[in-house]
C-alpha cells in the first residue's frame, strides 16, 4: 500500500477540494454554527438534519444527508472531546481510521474521479475551541501532528490539517520542523524544497502557475476546454476538422465559426468566444486544489498565471480571512496594487472579464498591442525575483518569448566566464531530459518524486479497489501530481519564519525555566509599552513588535 502524507495548510475547511471533510462535535451533537459553510448547511436548516442515526459518545459517522452534488466532499462528524491534549490526537487518529474503514471504497472512488492517487481527508485543528484545551494549544498541536502523521502512512490516505488561525498555522509548521517528520522525498529533493521555502520566507520568490494546478481541482485542460466548446456551441459536425489543427488554430476556427454564424464583427468575436469559455468554466464550480492551498499558505506577495479561473484567489482569501475585512488579494491588470497585500497578474484574462480571454491564434498575435504592459510585468518578475513555475507546460508562446528575451538579456550583460544566473525554478511533473536541456542555464528544473514510487511499478491496491482501476487510468500522472503536492508542502513548511505564537503562553509545550520566565517578562513589557504609548506613541512600535510575536 502506498503510504499517505500529512499536509498542513493555512485556510478554511470549506475552501479545499477533498474527498472527506471532518467536522468536530461532541456526544450530544452540539455543532458550532461557524462550521455551517464546511458542512454545506444553510442558516435556515437545523443541524439535526445532518445528525447521523447512530450517534453517541465516541461516534464517528457520515452525515445523514449529502446536501449538494457528488463533487461535494463527504461530510463526517466525530465526537472530538478528550480529557487531555494527548487524547485529542488519539481522537483524531480514531476518526481517520473509522472513516477509512467505513467509507474507504467511496473515498477512493472520489479520489479516482478527482485525479488523486490517494484519498484526501481534510480536518481542522481540533480540541482548541469547545474541545476545552485552548490554553494548551501547543500540546494539542504536537499531539495532532504525531498521531495523524503515523495514521496517514499506515492507512494509505492523505490528510490535510487545515488551520484557519495564523498562529496555529505557524506553530504547526514550527513543530513539524522540530519533530523532523519524514516527507517521502529523497534527500536532494527535500533539500531543494527546503531551500526554495527559505527563499519564499526571505521574500525572494514569485510564483508563476498554469493549468496543471487547476486541473487537479477539476478544471479542464486546454485540450478539454476546446472539446467542451465544440460541444457547447453545437459544432460537432466540424469536430474532425477542428481536431486536425493545433490548439491555437482550433480556438481560432471556433471563434471564426461563431462569428460567421452570428454575423459578428471580428472585434466582437473574441468577446463572444470569451463568454462561451466563461460559461464552460463556471459550470465546473470547483474548489481550490491542494496545490492552490499550499501555494496560498506560503503568502507569496507576487504571482502570475495563464489561468482564467479564480481558485488561487479563493485560496489566498481563505488564508487571510482572519485578518482582512476586504478582499486580501489584488488582481491585475484590473485592480491597483496596495502595499502589503498580495497580487496576482492574470496574463491571459479572467472569468469576470470575458473580453480579456486569450485563447485563439488572433488573440495571441495581437497580444502585444493589447497587453504589452502585462508582458512587461511578467518580465519584471523574471528580472527581480526567483520565479518558481508550477503546473505550467512552458509551451505558451507569450511566456516562452518573455523568458527567452530575459535570458538573452542576462546572457549579454553577464561578465565573460561567469555562469549565467537562472531566472527561476521549473517544478516539472515528469523527468524529461530534452525539456531539462532546453531550459538549461535559464531555469533550474526540479522533478518531484516520492521514495519507493518509481514510474515502473504500479501502486499496490486493496482487492476492493480493483474496480476503480480503469484501463485508461494514468497512474504515473496521478503519482507525479501527488509528488508535486508533497514537494510544495515541504516548501511551505520551511517558508514560515514568523512566530506569532512565540510569546503566546497557550502555545508553550516544553520550554526551559529560563525561556518561560522570558515569555512572562516580554508579555509584561508589551503590556507596559502599550500603556505608555497612550501618552507617547514612540512606545507603540515596540508594543506592536512584541504583539506580532504573540504577546497578549
Residue 253 and residue 377 share a domain: no
The answer to whether position 460 is within a domain reads: no
> 292 with 175, same domain?
no
Distance, CA of 164 to CA of 186 (rounded, Å): 30
Q: Say if residue 180 is exposed, middle or buried (CB neighbours under 10 Å; 0-12, 13-18, 19+).
A: exposed
Q: Which of 258, 283, 308 is the last residue of a domain?
A: 283
268 with 317, same domain: the answer is: no
The pLDDT tens digits for 320-371 are: 865 555 678 999 999 999 888 899 999 999 999 999 999 988 888 888 888 8
Q: Is residue 471 in a domain?
A: no
- Residues 140 and 158 grouped into a single domain: yes
- Kindly state whether residues 291 and 400 are assigned to the same domain: yes
Residue 152's pLDDT band, with cuts at 50, 70 and 90, is very high
Q: Residue 425 belongs to a domain with what CATH number?
A: 3.40.50
Kindly state whether residues 314 and 353 are assigned to the same domain.
yes
In-domain check, residue 188: no
- C-alpha cell at position 282: 463556471
Give yes or no: residues 163 and 175 share one domain.
yes
pLDDT in tens, 168-226: 999 999 999 988 877 789 899 999 999 999 999 999 999 999 988 988 888 888 889 99
Peptide bond before residue 497 is cis, with ω within 30 degrees of 0: no
In a domain? residue 237: yes
Domain that holds residue 543: 511-548
Q: Tell me the whole-structure pTM to 2 decimals.
A: 0.90
Q: How far is CA 79 from the centre of its chain?
A: 28
pLDDT, tens digit, for every residue of 289-316?
Answer: 999 999 999 999 999 999 999 999 999 9
Do 441 and 334 share a structural domain? yes
pLDDT in tens, 497-523: 888 888 888 887 666 778 888 989 999
Q: Quick check: helix, strand or coil at residue 233?
A: coil
CA separation, residue 548 to residues 28, 154, 164, 398 (Å): 38, 38, 17, 42
Q: Is residue 496 part of a domain?
A: no
CATH number at residue 158: 3.40.220.10
For residue 419, what pLDDT is reported?
A: 67
CA distance 521 to 514: 11
List the one residue out of 102, 199, 79 whose CA is nearest residue 444. 199
Closest CA to 350 of 325, 371, 381: 371
Residue 504 belongs to a domain = no
Residues whose CB falls within 8 Å of the CB of residue 14, separated by 6 or more in sequence, listed in order: 21, 37, 38, 40, 287
Share of the chain above pLDDT 90, in %: 54
Phi, psi of 122 (to 5 degrees): -100, 130
Domain endpoint, select from 423, 447, 471: 447
- Among candidate residues 124, 406, 430, 122, the one with its CA nearest the CA of residue 288: 122
**What per-residue confidence (pLDDT) applies to 385?**
95
Of 173, 32, 149, nearest to 89 by C-alpha is: 149
- As given in the structure block, the three cell numbers for residue 421 are 544566473
Assess whether 131 and 145 both reside in one domain: yes
For residue 161 the three cell numbers come to 490539517
Question: Domain check: are 24 and 57 in the same one?
Answer: yes
DSSP H or E run through 514:
helix 513-532
Residue 27, in any domain of the structure: yes
Q: Are residues 139 and 252 in the same domain?
A: no
Closest CA to 9 of 294, 301, 201, 314: 294
Q: How far apart are the first and last CA of the chain?
A: 46
Query: For the chain, what is the domain count?
Result: 4
pLDDT at 466: 37
> Under a CB-based contact definition with an 8 Å cutoff, are residues 443 and 398 in contact?
no
User: What values do phi and psi take at 355, rounded to 5?
Assistant: -65, -15
3-class DSSP state of 510: coil
CB 79 within 8 A of CB 57: yes
- For residues 265 and 386, membership in a common domain is answered with no
pLDDT tens for each residue of 471-505: 344 788 888 899 999 999 999 999 998 888 888 88
Q: In this structure, is residue 189 part of a structural domain? A: no
| Domain stop point among 417, 447, 477 | 447
Amino acid at each position: 500500500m502506498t503510504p499517505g502524507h500529512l499536509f498542513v495548510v493555512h485556510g478554511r475547511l470549506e475552501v479545499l477540494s477533498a474527498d472527506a471533510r471532518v467536522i468536530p462535535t461532541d456526544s450530544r451533537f452540539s455543532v458550532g454554527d461557524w462550521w455551517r459553510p464546511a458542512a454545506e448547511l444553510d442558516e435556515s436548516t437545523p443541524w439535526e438534519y445532518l445528525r447521523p442515526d447512530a450517534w453517541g459518545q465516541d461516534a464517528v459517522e457520515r452525515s445523514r444527508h449529502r446536501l449538494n452534488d457528488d463533487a461535494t466532499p463527504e461530510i463526517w462528524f466525530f465526537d472530538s472531546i478528550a480529557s487531555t491534549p494527548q487524547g485529542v490526537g488519539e481522537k483524531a487518529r480514531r476518526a481517520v481510521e473509522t472513516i477509512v474503514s467505513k467509507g474507504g471504497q467511496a473515498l477512493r472512488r472520489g479520489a479516482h474521479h478527482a485525479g488523486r492517487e490517494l484519498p484526501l481527508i481534510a480536518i481542522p485543528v481540533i480540541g482548541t475551541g469547545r474541545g476545552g484545551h485552548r490554553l494548551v494549544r501547543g500540546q494539542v498541536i504536537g499531539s495532532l501532528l504525531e498521531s495523524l502523521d503515523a495514521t496517514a502512512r499506515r492507512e494509505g490516505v492523505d490528510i490535510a490539517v487545515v488551520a484557519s488561525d495564523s498562529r496555529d498555522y505557524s506553530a504547526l509548521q514550527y513543530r513539524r520542523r522540530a519533530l523532523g517528520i519524514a516527507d517521502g522525498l529523497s534527500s536532494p529533493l527535500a533539500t531543494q524544497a527546503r531551500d526554495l521555502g527559505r527563499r519564499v520566507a526571505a521574500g525572494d520568490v514569485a510564483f508563476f502557475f498554469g493549468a496543471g494546478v487547476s486541473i487537479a481541482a477539476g478544471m479542464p485542460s486546454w485540450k478539454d476546454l476546446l472539446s467542451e466548446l465544440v460541444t457547447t456551441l453545437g459544432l460537432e459536425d466540424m469536430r474532425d476538422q477542428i481536431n486536425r489543427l493545433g490548439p491555437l488554430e482550433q480556438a481560432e476556427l471556433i471563434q471564426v465559426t461563431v462569428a460567421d454564424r452570428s454575423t459578428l464583427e471580428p472585434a466582437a468575436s473574441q468577446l463572444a468566444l470569451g463568454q462561451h469559455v466563461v460559461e464552460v468554466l463556471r459550470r465546473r464550480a470547483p474548489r481550490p486544489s491542494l496545490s492552490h492551498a499550499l501555494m496560498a499558505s506560503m503568502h507569496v506577495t507576487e504571482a502570475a498565471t495563464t489561468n482564467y479561473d479564480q481558485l488561487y484567489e479563493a485560496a489566498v482569501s481563505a488564508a487571510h480571512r482572519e485578518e482582512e475585512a476586504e478582499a486580501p488579494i489584488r488582481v491585475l491588470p484590473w485592480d491597483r496594487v496596495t502595499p502589503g497585500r498580495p497580487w496576482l497578474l492574470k496574463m491571459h484574462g479572467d472569468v469576470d472579464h470575458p473580453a480579456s480571454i486569450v485563447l485563439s491564434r488572433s488573440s495571441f498575435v495581437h497580444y502585444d498591442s493589447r497587453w504589452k504592459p502585462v508582458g512587461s510585468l511578467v518580465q519584471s518578475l523574471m528580472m527581480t525575483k526567483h520565479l518558481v513555475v508550477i503546473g505550467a507546460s512552458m509551451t505558451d508562446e507569450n511566456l516562452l518569448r518573455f523568458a527567452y528575451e530575459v535570458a538573452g538579456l542576462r546572457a549579454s550583460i553577464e561578465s565573460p566566464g561567469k555562469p549565467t544566473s537562472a531566472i527561476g525554478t521549473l517544478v516539472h511533473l515528469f523527468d524529461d531530459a530534452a525539456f531539462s536541456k532546453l531550459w538549461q542555464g535559464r531555469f533550474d528544473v526540479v522533478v518531484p518524486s516520492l521514495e519507493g514510487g518509481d514510474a515502473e511499478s504500479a501502486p499496490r491496491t486493496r482487492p476492493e479497489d480493483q474496480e476503480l482501476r480503469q484501463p485508461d487510468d494514468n497512474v504515473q500522472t496521478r503519482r507525479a501530481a501527488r509528488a508535486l503536492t508533497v514537494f510544495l508542502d515541504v516548501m511551505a513548511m520551511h517558508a514560515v519564519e514568523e512566530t506569532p505564537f512565540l510569546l503566546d503562553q497557550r502555545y508553550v509545550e516544553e520550554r526551559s525555566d529560563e525561556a518561560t520566565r522570558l515569555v512572562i517578562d516580554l508579555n509584561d513589557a508589551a503590556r507596559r509599552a502599550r500603556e505608555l504609548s497612550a501618552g507617547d506613541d514612540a512606545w507603540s512600535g515596540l508594543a506592536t513588535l512584541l504583539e506580532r510575536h504573540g504577546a497578549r
